Amino acid sequence: MGVTIIQQFPMKENRTGAQIIEFLTKRVNALGAKQCGTFLVDCETYASIPQLGVQRTLHVFHNSEQPASVFAILDNGTGKTVPVVADALFDLLLLKMSSVYTSKKSKVEIRGPRFELNDFVIKIGAININHNVKGIIVEAEYRPCVVFGLCWDMLREFLQGFLGSCVSNIPPHYFQNRMNDIFQPLDTIQQYLDHITIYRKATGILQPFNTTNT
Protein backbone atom coordinates (compact mmCIF):
# COMPACT_ATOMS: atom_id res chain seq x y z
CA MET A 1 0.00 0.00 0.00
CA GLY A 2 1.49 3.27 -1.11
CA VAL A 3 0.32 6.59 -2.46
CA THR A 4 -1.97 6.56 -5.49
CA ILE A 5 -2.87 9.43 -7.75
CA ILE A 6 -5.41 9.42 -10.52
CA GLN A 7 -5.12 11.36 -13.71
CA GLN A 8 -7.48 11.89 -16.63
CA PHE A 9 -6.03 11.40 -20.07
CA PRO A 10 -7.65 13.37 -22.91
CA MET A 11 -9.81 11.52 -25.43
CA LYS A 12 -9.08 12.22 -29.07
CA GLU A 13 -11.96 12.53 -31.48
CA ASN A 14 -10.65 10.04 -34.00
CA ARG A 15 -9.57 7.39 -31.49
CA THR A 16 -11.54 4.90 -29.48
CA GLY A 17 -10.90 4.20 -25.80
CA ALA A 18 -9.30 0.86 -26.68
CA GLN A 19 -6.91 2.55 -29.12
CA ILE A 20 -5.77 5.05 -26.48
CA ILE A 21 -5.24 2.27 -23.94
CA GLU A 22 -3.17 0.40 -26.51
CA PHE A 23 -1.17 3.54 -27.25
CA LEU A 24 -0.44 4.15 -23.58
CA THR A 25 0.32 0.46 -23.02
CA LYS A 26 3.10 0.73 -25.60
CA ARG A 27 4.53 3.69 -23.74
CA VAL A 28 4.60 2.01 -20.34
CA ASN A 29 5.98 -1.18 -21.89
CA ALA A 30 8.76 0.92 -23.37
CA LEU A 31 9.60 2.05 -19.82
CA GLY A 32 10.04 -1.59 -18.86
CA ALA A 33 6.70 -2.16 -17.11
CA LYS A 34 5.19 -5.64 -17.15
CA GLN A 35 1.46 -6.25 -17.38
CA CYS A 36 0.11 -8.05 -14.31
CA GLY A 37 -3.52 -8.77 -15.05
CA THR A 38 -6.27 -6.21 -15.27
CA PHE A 39 -8.13 -4.04 -12.77
CA LEU A 40 -11.71 -3.01 -12.18
CA VAL A 41 -13.20 -0.20 -10.15
CA ASP A 42 -16.97 0.11 -10.12
CA CYS A 43 -19.41 2.59 -8.65
CA GLU A 44 -23.15 2.40 -8.16
CA THR A 45 -25.05 5.48 -7.01
CA TYR A 46 -28.20 5.49 -4.90
CA ALA A 47 -30.53 8.34 -3.96
CA SER A 48 -32.72 8.61 -0.87
CA ILE A 49 -36.48 8.58 -1.38
CA PRO A 50 -38.26 11.99 -1.16
CA GLN A 51 -39.94 11.04 2.14
CA LEU A 52 -36.55 11.29 3.87
CA GLY A 53 -36.36 15.03 3.21
CA VAL A 54 -33.21 16.54 1.70
CA GLN A 55 -32.00 14.18 -0.99
CA ARG A 56 -28.93 12.24 0.04
CA THR A 57 -26.67 10.49 -2.42
CA LEU A 58 -24.84 7.29 -1.69
CA HIS A 59 -21.94 6.12 -3.84
CA VAL A 60 -20.85 2.51 -3.41
CA PHE A 61 -17.46 1.48 -4.80
CA HIS A 62 -15.52 -1.72 -5.27
CA ASN A 63 -11.86 -1.88 -6.22
CA SER A 64 -10.17 -5.05 -7.45
CA GLU A 65 -7.05 -3.92 -5.56
CA GLN A 66 -8.99 -4.37 -2.26
CA PRO A 67 -11.36 -7.19 -3.24
CA ALA A 68 -12.71 -7.89 0.27
CA SER A 69 -13.87 -4.33 0.91
CA VAL A 70 -16.76 -2.12 -0.05
CA PHE A 71 -16.31 1.65 0.04
CA ALA A 72 -19.39 3.79 0.56
CA ILE A 73 -19.45 7.58 0.43
CA LEU A 74 -22.56 9.40 1.56
CA ASP A 75 -23.34 12.95 0.55
CA ASN A 76 -26.01 14.24 2.92
CA GLY A 77 -27.21 16.91 0.47
CA THR A 78 -26.04 19.82 2.62
CA GLY A 79 -22.34 19.61 1.88
CA LYS A 80 -21.25 16.95 4.35
CA THR A 81 -19.80 13.67 3.14
CA VAL A 82 -19.26 10.63 5.33
CA PRO A 83 -17.23 7.67 4.06
CA VAL A 84 -17.36 4.15 5.41
CA VAL A 85 -15.27 1.11 4.55
CA ALA A 86 -16.87 -2.26 5.17
CA ASP A 87 -16.66 -6.00 4.47
CA ALA A 88 -18.01 -7.36 1.20
CA LEU A 89 -21.32 -8.37 2.82
CA PHE A 90 -22.18 -4.66 3.08
CA ASP A 91 -23.63 -5.11 -0.42
CA LEU A 92 -26.19 -7.55 1.01
CA LEU A 93 -27.15 -5.01 3.65
CA LEU A 94 -27.67 -2.41 0.95
CA LEU A 95 -30.29 -4.64 -0.66
CA LYS A 96 -32.24 -4.39 2.61
CA MET A 97 -32.23 -0.60 2.22
CA SER A 98 -33.75 -0.67 -1.26
CA SER A 99 -37.04 0.78 0.04
CA VAL A 100 -35.29 3.96 1.24
CA TYR A 101 -32.33 4.25 -1.12
CA THR A 102 -32.97 3.51 -4.79
CA SER A 103 -30.38 2.95 -7.49
CA LYS A 104 -29.95 5.82 -9.93
CA LYS A 105 -29.16 3.26 -12.64
CA SER A 106 -25.97 4.91 -13.72
CA LYS A 107 -23.34 2.30 -13.18
CA VAL A 108 -19.75 3.38 -13.65
CA GLU A 109 -16.96 0.95 -14.41
CA ILE A 110 -13.30 1.67 -14.91
CA ARG A 111 -11.39 -1.28 -16.26
CA GLY A 112 -8.17 -1.90 -18.13
CA PRO A 113 -4.66 -3.34 -17.86
CA ARG A 114 -2.56 -3.20 -14.69
CA PHE A 115 1.22 -2.89 -14.88
CA GLU A 116 4.06 -3.15 -12.42
CA LEU A 117 7.33 -1.28 -12.80
CA ASN A 118 9.64 -1.77 -9.82
CA ASP A 119 8.10 0.32 -7.02
CA PHE A 120 5.28 1.62 -9.19
CA VAL A 121 1.92 0.21 -10.18
CA ILE A 122 0.26 1.73 -13.23
CA LYS A 123 -3.32 1.17 -14.31
CA ILE A 124 -4.83 2.44 -17.51
CA GLY A 125 -8.59 2.25 -17.61
CA ALA A 126 -11.50 3.28 -19.77
CA ILE A 127 -14.29 4.89 -17.78
CA ASN A 128 -17.66 3.45 -18.79
CA ILE A 129 -20.85 5.15 -17.68
CA ASN A 130 -23.85 2.97 -18.51
CA HIS A 131 -21.60 1.03 -20.91
CA ASN A 132 -20.49 4.14 -22.86
CA VAL A 133 -16.81 5.00 -22.84
CA LYS A 134 -16.50 8.52 -21.45
CA GLY A 135 -12.77 8.88 -21.07
CA ILE A 136 -9.45 7.41 -20.01
CA ILE A 137 -8.16 7.36 -16.45
CA VAL A 138 -4.60 6.56 -15.44
CA GLU A 139 -3.77 5.51 -11.90
CA ALA A 140 -0.20 5.53 -10.61
CA GLU A 141 0.86 4.16 -7.26
CA TYR A 142 4.21 4.54 -5.58
CA ARG A 143 4.32 1.69 -3.12
CA PRO A 144 7.18 2.41 -0.70
CA CYS A 145 5.69 5.68 0.62
CA VAL A 146 2.41 6.44 2.43
CA VAL A 147 2.53 10.25 2.64
CA PHE A 148 1.41 12.14 -0.45
CA GLY A 149 3.48 15.25 0.28
CA LEU A 150 6.70 13.22 0.35
CA CYS A 151 6.32 11.61 -3.08
CA TRP A 152 4.10 13.95 -5.10
CA ASP A 153 6.98 15.51 -6.99
CA MET A 154 8.31 12.14 -8.03
CA LEU A 155 4.88 10.80 -8.96
CA ARG A 156 4.18 13.91 -11.02
CA GLU A 157 7.46 13.55 -12.88
CA PHE A 158 6.81 9.85 -13.40
CA LEU A 159 3.34 10.50 -14.84
CA GLN A 160 4.53 13.39 -16.99
CA GLY A 161 7.18 11.04 -18.36
CA PHE A 162 4.62 8.92 -20.20
CA LEU A 163 1.44 11.05 -20.27
CA GLY A 164 2.95 14.40 -21.19
CA SER A 165 1.72 17.84 -20.28
CA CYS A 166 -1.83 16.82 -19.35
CA VAL A 167 -0.36 16.17 -15.90
CA SER A 168 -0.56 19.43 -13.98
CA ASN A 169 2.29 20.73 -11.85
CA ILE A 170 -0.25 21.57 -9.13
CA PRO A 171 -1.19 18.74 -6.76
CA PRO A 172 -4.70 17.34 -7.33
CA HIS A 173 -7.37 19.30 -5.49
CA TYR A 174 -8.20 16.32 -3.28
CA PHE A 175 -4.74 16.38 -1.67
CA GLN A 176 -4.49 20.08 -0.98
CA ASN A 177 -5.45 19.66 2.68
CA ARG A 178 -4.03 16.16 2.99
CA MET A 179 -0.40 16.62 2.03
CA ASN A 180 0.95 15.01 5.20
CA ASP A 181 -1.79 12.51 6.00
CA ILE A 182 -1.23 8.77 5.90
CA PHE A 183 -2.63 7.51 2.61
CA GLN A 184 -5.43 4.94 2.79
CA PRO A 185 -7.29 2.91 0.15
CA LEU A 186 -10.28 5.20 0.70
CA ASP A 187 -8.21 8.12 -0.66
CA THR A 188 -7.99 6.35 -4.01
CA ILE A 189 -11.77 5.90 -4.04
CA GLN A 190 -12.39 9.55 -3.14
CA GLN A 191 -10.28 10.59 -6.13
CA TYR A 192 -12.25 8.26 -8.40
CA LEU A 193 -15.46 9.85 -7.14
CA ASP A 194 -14.11 13.34 -7.94
CA HIS A 195 -13.32 12.24 -11.50
CA ILE A 196 -16.61 10.39 -11.97
CA THR A 197 -18.52 13.48 -10.85
CA ILE A 198 -16.74 15.54 -13.51
CA TYR A 199 -17.50 12.97 -16.21
CA ARG A 200 -21.14 12.71 -15.17
CA LYS A 201 -21.61 16.46 -15.30
CA ALA A 202 -20.13 16.63 -18.79
CA THR A 203 -22.42 15.89 -21.68
CA GLY A 204 -21.38 13.39 -24.31
CA ILE A 205 -17.73 12.49 -24.66
CA LEU A 206 -15.74 14.68 -22.35
CA GLN A 207 -12.64 16.38 -23.62
CA PRO A 208 -11.31 18.35 -20.68
CA PHE A 209 -7.78 18.56 -22.02
CA ASN A 210 -8.18 18.26 -25.74
CA THR A 211 -4.64 19.19 -26.49
CA THR A 212 -2.09 17.71 -28.84
CA ASN A 213 0.17 16.36 -26.15
CA THR A 214 -0.10 12.75 -27.34
Partner 1 sequence: MEAVKEAPIPAMDSLTAAMKNNIVPNQEYLLQGSVLDSAVEVLLHRLRGLCDNVDSGPETFHDHEMCFSISNVYFSVHVLCPLHIIINIIFLLGSVTPQPLTLRVRRAIDYLDMPYQLRYIGQPELGDKSRPTILRNSIDVATTPTIVDFLTEMGFRMDFEYILRGYMFRKGRMKITVSKIFKMMVVGKPAPESVDPISQSYLVELSVLAPSNQDAIAEDMRVFAEQLKPLVHLEKVDYKRLTQPPM
Query: Which one-letter amino acid corresponds to residue 9?
Result: F
CA 81 – CA 142 distance, rounded (Å)? 27
How does DSSP assign 122-184, residue by residue?
A: EEEEEEEETTEEEEEEEEEEETT--BHHHHHHHHHHHHHHHHGGGS-SSPPGGGTT-TTSBP-
Q: Which is nearer to partner 1, 74 or 206 (CB)?
A: 74
Closer CB to partner 1, 61 or 148, in the complex: 61
- Decide whether 10 or 112 has the Cβ nearer to partner 1: 112
Nearer to partner 1, 58 or 167 (CB): 58
Residue numbers at the binding site for partner 1 (CB under 8 A): 34-40, 42, 48-49, 51-53, 56, 58, 62, 64, 67, 70, 72, 74, 76, 80, 82-93, 96-97, 99-101, 109, 111, 116
Q: CB of 203: closest distance to partner 1 in angstroms?
A: 27
* H-only helix segments in the chain: 17-30, 90-96, 148-163, 185-201
Amino acid at 55: Q
Closest CA to 4 of 201, 158, 209, 161: 158
Minimum distance from residue 118 beta carbon to partner 1 (Å): 11
Which CB sits closer to partner 1, 37 or 204? 37
Compute the least distance from the CB of residue 209 to partner 1, in Å.
28
**Closest distance of CB 96 from partner 1, Å:** 6
Rounded least distance, CB 204 to partner 1, Å: 26
- Residue of 129, 126, 152 whose CA lies nearest to 4: 152
Cα–Cα nearest to 70, from 83, 56, 81: 83
Instruction: Kindly state the smallest distance separating residue 90's Cβ from partner 1, in Å.
Output: 5
Nearer to partner 1, 48 or 156 (CB): 48
